[in-house]
């Protein structure tokens, strides 16, 4: 993502990364949205360089638990529930990449 934004890693981390214990996490807006989610369009500003957690969205365990969870996901994310239809095997493969 730093390269995509034409920043060195240190500068990128100072601006957009916070510590969560021993792990690093992207900074979020007060409402919990990612700092790279453009508020008006609801599109990712660093889509080509997004980390695995983002690449596996919306196929997270938490969004697939119940049909209601999936419907709520579709309401907050304009790309969920539209576009390519994935098979259950493809969804499971993506879901296992990162358990969220």
pTM higher than 0.85 for the full model? no
CA angle 39, 45, 47 (to 5 degrees): 130
Stretches where the chain sits below pLDDT 70 are 98-100
Distance of alpha carbon 47 from the chain centroid: 9
Residues in Cβ contact with 49 at an 8 Å cutoff, skipping those fewer than 6 apart: 1, 3, 4
């Amino acid at each position: 993502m730093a390269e995509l934004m034409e920043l060195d890693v240190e500068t990128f981390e100072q601006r957009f990364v916070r510590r969560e214990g021993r792990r690093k996490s992207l900074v979020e807006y007060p409402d919990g949205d990612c700092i790279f989610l453009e508020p008006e369009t609801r599109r990712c500003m660093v889509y080509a360089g997004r980390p695995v957690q983002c690449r596996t969205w919306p196929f997270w365990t938490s969004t697939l638990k119940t049909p209601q969870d999936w419907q709520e996901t579709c309401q907050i994310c304009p790309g969920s529930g539209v576009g390519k239809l994935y098979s259950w095997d493809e969804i499971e493969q993506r879901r296992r990449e990162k358990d969220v």
